[in-house]
């Protein structure tokens, strides 16, 4: 998930030269098919939401490059760092219930850490963890040795995350809390420890019970979509540098994000389920959400420093010269790519996915074009 900080800060919409006549001719499927061919993607998925309705959704392509197995509408794609907004949403629920506060510090929530971690970390606030301003080490890139160490952590997922947190909070402070943005996966692992302690359940169970189920996200789960026991799902793809061809992940490829970091990027789901999630935030910003109050959705989508653009709590916020304020997420674990785009002014949300790690440009262009079709 390295490099996604740039996606959150520098998001802009291009391709303004699309004509009104072209908008009238194109459909979601035509846009998807064209971009799939142009960018040599195995499959691309997209969906458009207008207020209370998912007005269109499609998946174009195959589950595995070079194989005939056609991707289906209910197939799961990995959404990587878009998972962060789910973790922020759990925090928001516990804040509304009075079990946490946005200003809760690590030291207040976890007094058992005193004397075991660097003192400066104990003053980091929960909202700083979620806005990437807590100064927590990034853990966006780490070597094979560290990966194996994290994968070998013992105990339940909760215990693994608690152990990981102690390790991270003994590493040098990366930046002073509340002063600058430093994109951090481990900051979300830290936030999940507070969530698990306050709710008394693992993060995975809370996401299922409090978000997947009420939003009817029946496909949603964790890790890579395909496995040796579930072959009828899309497999992720990497570009082979030597041949210039896409290479599918093997079915037995282990999930490489250690469970201690799952709250930063582990969810997989179908395009329609991601659309349902985006719809909840679109409606929530209008005061019509199911899961949180309007002011809470506004808090989640407000920048940490009051600026018009930048990181929010699990999202990015941008200004489009044509549409005004937009809220977005982007995620890639290297072999898939997913995007969420929400424009309250248009009462519109667009979501796109592909099973190729090289699909960033294609998913971004798809959103740009579909926004102008469904505006």
Answer yes or no: is pLDDT of 374 > 70: yes
Q: What is the CATH number of domain 4-82+217-374?
A: 3.40.710.10
Same CATH topology for 4-82+217-374 and 86-205?
Answer: yes
Q: Categorize the per-residue pLDDT at 256 as very low, low, confident or very high, splitting at 50, 70 and 90.
A: confident
Q: How does DSSP assign 40-82, residue by residue?
A: T-SEEEEEEEETTEEEEEEEEEBSSTTS--B--TT--EE-GGG
Q: How does DSSP assign 323-357, residue by residue?
A: TEEEEEEEE-SSS-EEEEEEEGGGTEEEEEEES-T
Closest listed residue to residue 191, CA positions, set 258, 267, 131, 280: 131
Long-range contacts of 367-372 (CB under 8 A, 24+ apart): 367/13, 367/339, 367/341, 368/13, 368/14, 368/15, 368/18, 369/15, 369/18, 369/26, 369/31, 370/28, 370/31, 370/46, 370/48, 371/13, 371/323, 371/341, 371/343, 371/346, 372/18, 372/23
Q: What is the mean pLDDT of residues 302-329?
A: 95
Q: Categorize the per-residue pLDDT at 167 as very low, low, confident or very high, splitting at 50, 70 and 90.
A: very high
The helix/strand count (H/E) of the chain reads as 13, 12
> What DSSP element (H or E) covers 316?
strand 316-320
Cβ atoms within 10 Å, residue 157: 18
Mean pLDDT, the chain, integer: 92
- Residue 12 in 3-state DSSP? coil
Query: What are the tens digits of pLDDT across the range 266-275?
Result: 999 999 999 9
Q: Categorize the per-residue pLDDT at 241 as very low, low, confident or very high, splitting at 50, 70 and 90.
A: confident
Q: Categorize the per-residue pLDDT at 17 as very low, low, confident or very high, splitting at 50, 70 and 90.
A: very low
pLDDT for the residue numbered 1 = 47
Q: What is the pTM of this model?
A: 0.93
Domain boundaries, the chain: 4-82+217-374, 86-205
Least confident interval from 16-30, 40-54, 134-148, 320-334: 16-30
Q: What is the CATH number of domain 86-205?
A: 3.40.710.10
Q: Where are the beta strands (DSSP E) in 207-256?
A: 221-222, 237-239, 246-248
Higher pLDDT, 113 or 12: 113
Q: Categorize the per-residue pLDDT at 316 as very low, low, confident or very high, splitting at 50, 70 and 90.
A: very high
């Amino acid at each position: 998930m390295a490099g996604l900080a740039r996606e959150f800060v520098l998001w802009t919409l291009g391709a303004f030269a699309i004509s009104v006549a072209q908008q009238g001719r194109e459909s979601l499927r035509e846009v998807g098919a064209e971009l799939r061919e142009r960018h040599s993607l195995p499959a691309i998925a997209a969906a458009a939401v207008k207020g209370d309705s998912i007005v269109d959704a499609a998946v174009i392509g195959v589950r595995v490059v070079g194989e005939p197995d056609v991707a289906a509408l209910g197939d799961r794609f990995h959404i990587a760092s878009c998972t962060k907004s789910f973790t922020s949403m759990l925090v928001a629920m516990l804040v509304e219930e009075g079990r946490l506060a946005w200003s809760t510090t690590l030291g207040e929530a976890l007094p058992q850490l005193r004397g075991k971690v660097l003192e400066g970390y104990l003053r980091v606030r929960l909202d700083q963890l979620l806005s990437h301003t807590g100064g927590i080490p990034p853990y966006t890139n780490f070597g094979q040795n560290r990966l194996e160490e994290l994968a070998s952590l013992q105990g339940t997922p909760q215990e693994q995350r608690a152990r990981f947190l102690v390790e991270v909070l003994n590493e040098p402070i990366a930046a002073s809390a509340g002063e600058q943005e430093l994109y951090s996966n481990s900051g979300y692992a830290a936030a999940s420890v507070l969530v698990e302690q306050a709710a008394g359940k693992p993060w995975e169970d809370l996401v299922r019970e409090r978000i997947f189920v009420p939003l009817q996200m029946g496909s949603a789960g964790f890790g890579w979509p395909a496995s040796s026991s579930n072959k009828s799902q899309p497999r992720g793809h990497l570009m082979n540098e030597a041949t210039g061809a896409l290479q599918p992940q093997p079915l037995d490829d282990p999930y490489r994000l250690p469970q201690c970091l799952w709250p930063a990027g582990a969810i997989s789901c179908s395009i329609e389920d991601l659309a349902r999630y985006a719809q909840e935030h679109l409606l929530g910003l209008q005061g019509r959400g199911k899961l949180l109050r309007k002011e809470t959705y506004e808090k989640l989508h407000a920048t940490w420093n009051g600026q018009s653009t930048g990181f929010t709590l699990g999202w990015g916020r941008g200004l489009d010269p044509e549409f005004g304020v937009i809220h977005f997420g982007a995620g890639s674990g290297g072999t898939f790519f997913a995007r969420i785009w929400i424009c309250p002014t248009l009462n519109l949300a667009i979501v796109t996915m592909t099973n190729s790690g090289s699909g960033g440009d294609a998913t971004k262009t798809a959103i740009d074009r579909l926004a102008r079709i469904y505006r």
